[in-house]
Amino acid sequence: MNSPLIISAVQQPCNKDRQTNLDFSIARIREAAASKADLVVLPELHLGPYFCQNEDHHHFDLAQPIPGPTTDVLSAVAKELNIVIVSTIFEKRAPGIYHNTAVVFDKDGSIAGKYRKMHIPDDPGFYEKYYFTPGDIGFKPIQTSLGRLGVLVCWDQWFPEAARLMALAGADILIYPTAIGWDPVDDAGEHQRQLNAWITIQRSHAVANGLPVISCNRIGFEQAPDSEKGIQFWGNSFVAGPQGEIITQADSSETKVLTCSIDSTRSEHVRRIWPYLRDRRIENYGDLTKRFID
């Protein structure tokens, strides 16, 4: 991977008007490029409000093909600014088959690859199993001019398996576009535990695999369309180095282009002093493919 690598995570609210919203994201990408960023990450499904707060078949109208109108726009932006962009699109693949898909644009504007979200959540307010067919590409890093990007999406971040498989397949960095927030009904203690757990599990993927991690979340309160409920997206986008050390982190409410430099030669160093990949007991890991061992 290029080193040093300047990366930006765009922590932003995602508003209702798609064009206004996309224009806002593109303006932030321009800011990142002005800061000499090589790579910019947008939050998960950044084209609008998080529509999975209820199950409504009209929401399938939000989906679009890849390539399609949004990827055409972002391709042009990537090429113009000579920057790698990680976007997440509600993908219409075929009638009745929709995915939550990360798309990586290389500096020349080409689509370097895509990743279809593998782990699909479903709990009150996050009805993703209704909308998203589980990904079938698997855990494959996307080769770009900067290196191999291990792009995963949101709920994937809770699964050490996903990070490990990306590392074993040669990822140089792990990237998590995210839309996660608090239920305002929960108390402050629960909010803190959830946020800390979210940061902890992603930092742990850095530690376990000796890789830097970028996590990019949205901010803002979004009201559910059909109830009094809603989600307070908690921001806290961050970048961690390959020992899990926080390099930079946003707070829970600021719109921010979070930019920092990553020394990607550190992964090699860290994997020498912490040679976990050497010591995995692969002959005893077979049961990881089981649901449970009754």
Catalytic site positions: 44, 117, 154
Q: Which is nearer to its own copies, 58 or 290 (CB)?
A: 290
Name the helix (H) or strand (E) containing 225.
none
Q: 264: Cβ–Cβ under 8 A, 6 or more apart, which residues?
A: 1, 2, 3, 4, 5, 147, 172, 173, 212
The separation between CA 106 and the C-alpha centre of its own chain, rounded to angstroms, equals 17
Find the binding residues for its own copies in span 66-85 (CB under 8 A).
none
Count residues near its own copies (CB under 8 A): 51
Minimum distance between the CB of residue 240 and its own copies, rounded to whole angstroms? 9
Q: Is 134 in the site for its own copies (CB under 8 A)?
A: yes
Token code pair at residue 245:
């050390």
The verdict on 221 binding its own copies (CB under 8 A) reads no
Is position 185 an interface residue for its own copies (rule: CB under 8 A)? no
- Binding segment (CB under 8 A) for its own copies, from list 41-49, 66-74, 91-99, 272-280: 272-280
Dist CA 221 CA 7 (whole Å)? 26
For position 269 contacting its own copies by CB under 8 A, the verdict is no
154 backbone φψ class: left, alpha, beta (φ>0; ψ -120 to 50): left
Minimum separation from the CB atom of position 160 to its own copies (A): 3
Q: CB-side exposure of 284: number of CA atoms within 13 Å? A: 3
Residues that bind its own copies (CB under 8 A): 118-121, 123, 134, 138-139, 155, 158-161, 164-165, 168-170, 193-194, 196-197, 200-201, 203-204, 207-208, 243-245, 273-277, 279-293
